[in-house]
Structure 1
């Protein structure tokens, strides 16, 4: 299995720009700053939402958003995805006629940053999903994944102010997406998985962001049984993970981690005393 089939491109000039300023001593500096811009999503002829995004992979973002909002069904036939960079518009076209006028009237603002908005009932289809009981997470995989992901060149290392999500299998990171909102990053991966018919029951999901209800719900809807984060938890996120039997691991840094849901999938095959503490690598680069 190939490591990192898709990764961030921190050298893409469209994703960041250099801005001049002053440091704490009053010295002039120039630093790279991530770009965000609006992207308006249409499903057939209906406007769905305007998202703030860095602008890469608009097709995957559009497909993943619609899938995770239950507006696009797993067996839908998509006839085209049209993207216009100048207008900031992406249109997903399906054979099935769609009308979400009533659903769009009901908006729930989630805890996701950068316009993490979900429409309708957040728990729609949540209780119907059964996650694979056979999935496992070896602690040796967790340690290796953390190291590989932390060392991978990314916009986070270049600019900060961005979230990353990674689809993994065993100790191998596969798809790494970034965006100003972690919900966008997870939607890009959902769209990629749907487009390329990637199965979920044996996969692991890694995120740099908080383990909120939104992250848990989307991971469960994608039918991925294990969710890992460098960050912490919210109480509702933990409650939903336990309800869905999702293995939920947070504060995964160096040799340390905390599991608050479905620990039976964990296999402790690595001596943590042999794992070094994580170094402070995540420093934003700057130049005078």
Structure 2
């Protein structure tokens, strides 16, 4: 099963929110749709959910128009919570599951599984409004997947979660991936995107700046992130040919290079007196690449 976004455009009078967008998300894949606020992510989600009609272009699921996809096969975790504050957690999950066509008997088993998984069993009778922000987010996530969707859209799923709960959520997302769910994932946390996503589409003002495997984006810039540890000074390192900038991070120096090829002569220079404690060359992080792309840095 594949979600195909084919030359998708959405205009609101003279404003273009999404401009000629193209990407695919496969069964068992986590696809990252990333961009700054106002980049067009939510508009794209709403078109996939058939809540907005595209101006031009097609959205297809398994080569069929997305509006033909059974609504009960899509899950959506919105950035803004949509829970009923006065309703107990278990009752709320039963309500949302029944809306998606599931029976009470089937839901009881699945609710118990996810409450245990997210360490919410003791909150099952609690009113939603009494829960912490993080626990509300976990309930919202369970509501979005309790009906076992084939396509799951997650918009800022880690909002309000501490590191322990974020780890629980990551494990759950990876489990859904292994079971064949196609997942569209959006987050401002580039470390989460880099850790979870197979492919990404980077949006700016509704236009795709890059779409494809994260490693292919990294390769555009090459391995220009050099980490050194040894008996150096920032001043000496900054004078080396090919070094764009130097920063000290605890006991190590981080050098940004102009080109990957600059690393070899630097290695010869810093090791001319023998052993050094560390010389590590790597790609830029996704967060650094995101900033470069949004700023208009073209390779």
Query: Which bin holds the TM-score, normalised by the shorter protein?
Result: under 0.3
Greater C-alpha Rg: 2
Please give the TM-score of this superposition, normalised by the length of structure 1: 0.24
- Greater helix fraction, Structure 1 or Structure 2: 2
